[in-house]
Chain A
């Protein structure tokens, strides 16, 4: 066996091992979601068993879970709409040739993106109670802006920076105003960037638990809160909890597979240049 071939085999072995390690928890949860309570807790673990669909049937007919699922969907859509409505013009402005204090503004945005989510909950709780935003999907989407908006501005600015500035100048010479240049030149050229940013925003909103837990009660509960609800006071419904968890990751999984190229493009942005 040649050296190169040995190295290939070794690297595949490491990758397969790493893949198994990271997939193991998910595989285990899928296992629990398809097992009876007795099978799930059998020692040693039963690798071969009769799958049952009772837990999924229970979760899919649970109105709290379905509502949570829909609330998350709305929060993600609304959160993205808000982030792009403000983030695209902001990124366009920050991408101009001479922006006073651009570095400081970008650093500040990054800072707010890095703040822990818990930080928002206590002040926002009071504010939301007073303004009637508490336990509403719109309120939730508003809070999600604190991290999706800076991220959107960062990403869109990077994509806009890839558009040659001469195009802006050529459009200016043709008499186009800034907003016309944004909509007719920059946005069509940054479509892949918008897709990547929207996907990453959605994943972040979809997986968010802390804020949803603090700022919703029963009307605007999100899917992550609904999953956690199967962990009751007295007992934990492991089967339903696992089925709900698997159901909740499905949309993002499908999303990620379909948009794999955009996500990789978005994540590796700036890495090649």
Chain B
């Protein structure tokens, strides 16, 4: 049984559709990341699970039960907000015990549960403080503890790390993943940061704004490896990966395409196209000695030295190419003439009209 299931769900704000034709199933105990640029509907989808955004069509189930119109409190979910949404007028203990008080539990029971969860997230010494007196990371933990107290079937996270500084974000990322392992509950996590998506999710749902002209938001739903190594379309190929994948549109001639002097034989599905989009990740482009029989000549236009590797931007006759070069041996310098080849085993092919992957 799926923990959360969307069947052909549409969500509109007034007359403006934000989500269309969404079918997505999140398994029991799975960590799913919803990722996409601004306006792709990722937060709206998350809020619709919580009951904070109304579903206009289709069906949404939690634990097999239709929950389209259920009260937010009756959905067996807990949510960690981007702003943490802690009540500033209450202490940490007051914040954690809020829901228990609303549900009418006894004072002793509330105190016991609050103390227990505070120990789990390491907040025992801060129970008397107000959120204003806590650091960003501590507030994050209070929000997390409040969610744990509900013992939900599904945890929802709405960009919970976006207010933290970079160093702390990495630590919290690991903490949330560990938390998922120990809790065993399903988690749905919204982010616009593809690093978070790649490192945290069991599966990633890549979403695109409807405004970009797509008929549905969901571009691809798969494991991080699938999304990275077999992007289903140009949108996913562009969105996942830093630096971005290189793309060139090449004419198809006699069942193959020419990347400079390099002949690329195309599979049958691509051979009948007039043009083909060839994508290759920066780490799969290779520098070859100048004057080699195969490859594309170019000059080094820009160098980013990251210490352990260099990101080279080359200008070539068919457009700029970005190349990731691990620092072994001598790296080319700015303005130097070079020659690159594609790794034919790592080429991604797309139909330039439908923008879909062809294999």
Asked if B228 is an interface residue, CB under 8 A from chain A, the answer is no
Contact of A180 among B52, B88, B102 (CB under 8 A): B102
Give min CB distance, A97 to chain B, whole Å: 10
Q: Which of B36-85 contact A (CB under 8 A)?
A: 50-52, 72-73, 77-79, 81-83, 85
- The answer on a CB contact under 8 Å between A169 and B52 is yes
A189 to B83, CA, bound (A): 17
Q: Is the CB of A189 within 8 A of B81?
A: no
Q: Say whether, besides A172-B52, A175-B73, A185 and B89 are in contact (CB < 8 Å).
A: yes
Return the CB mask of B307-332 against A: 1 if under 8 Å, else 0. Answer: 00000000000000000000000000
A44 within 8 A of B: no
Assess whether B87 is interfacial by the CB under 8 Å rule: yes
Query: Contact at B73–A173, with CB atoms within 8 Å?
Result: yes
Chain B: which residue is nearest A173 at the CB level?
B72
Whether A167 lies near B98 (C-beta < 8 A) is: no
Contact (Cβ within 8 A) A174 B99: yes
- Judged by a CB distance under 8 angstroms, whether B103 is at the interface is yes
A188-B89, A189-B88, A189-B89 known; A175+B103 contact, CB < 8 A: yes
Partner of B85, one of A170, A176, A180, A188: A170
Q: How far is the CA of A175 from the CA of B85 in the complex (A)?
A: 15
On whether A166 and B102 interact (CB within 8 A), knowing A172-B73, A174-B73, the answer reads no
CB distance from B89 to the nearest CB of A (A): 4
The residue in chain A whose Cβ has the minimal distance to the Cβ of B14 is: A98
A173 and B89 contacting across the interface, CB-CB below 8 Å: no
Give the contacting residue for B81; candidates A166, A175, A184, A188; CB below 8 A.
Answer: A166
Smallest CB–CB gap between B156 and chain A, Å?
9
Contact A166-B85, Cβ < 8 Å, known A173-B79, A174-B73, A174-B99: yes
Question: Contact mask B91-120 → A, CB, 8 Å, 1/0?
Answer: 000000011001100000000000000000
Residues B98 and A174 in contact, CB atoms below 8 Å apart: yes
Interface size on A, residues (CB 8 A): 16
Give the shortest distance, in Å, between A187 (CB) and chain B (any CB): 9
Query: Is residue A164 contacting chain B, with contact meaning CB distance below 8 A?
Result: yes
State whether A176 and B50 are in contact (beta carbons under 8 Å apart), knowing that A188-B89, A189-B88 are contacts in the complex: no
CB-based nearest B residue for A185: B87
* Minimum Cβ distance to chain B for residue A167 (Å): 5
B173, chain A: closest CB distance, angstroms: 22
- Distance of A226 Cα from B88 Cα, bound (Å): 46
Are A173 and B83 in contact (CB-based, < 8 A)?
Answer: no
Q: Contact flags (1/0) for A1-18 with B, using CB distance below 8 Å?
A: 000000000000000000
Cross-chain contact A173 with B78 (CB below 8 angstroms): yes
B85, A169: Cβ atoms closer than 8 Å: yes
The smallest beta-carbon distance between B71 and chain A, in angstroms, is: 8
Decide if A170 touches B81 in the complex (CB within 8 Å): yes
What A residues does B51 contact at CB under 8 A? 172-173
- When the two chains form their complex, are residues A167 and B85 in contact, meaning their CB atoms are under 8 A apart? yes
* A171 interface contact, C-beta 8 A: yes
Assembled-state Cα–Cα distance A189/B85 (Å): 13
Whether B89 and A166, one on each chain, are in contact in the complex, defined by CB atoms closer than 8 angstroms, is no
Report chain B residues within 8 Å CB of A172. 51-52, 72-73
Q: Which residues of A contact B79 (CB under 8 A)?
A: 169-170, 173
Chain A residue nearest in CB terms to B89: A188
Please name 22 pairs of A and B residues whose Cβ atoms are closer than 8 Å in the assembled complex, sorted by A: A164-B85, A166-B83, A167-B85, A169-B79, A170-B81, A170-B87, A170-B146, A171-B87, A172-B51, A172-B72, A173-B51, A173-B52, A173-B72, A173-B79, A174-B146, A174-B150, A175-B73, A180-B102, A185-B87, A188-B89, A189-B88, A189-B89
Beyond the given A172-B51, A176-B102, please list 19 additional residue pairs across the A-B interface where CB-CB is below 8 A.
A164-B83, A164-B85, A166-B81, A166-B83, A166-B85, A167-B85, A169-B79, A170-B85, A172-B73, A173-B51, A174-B98, A174-B99, A174-B146, A175-B103, A176-B73, A184-B87, A184-B98, A188-B89, A189-B89
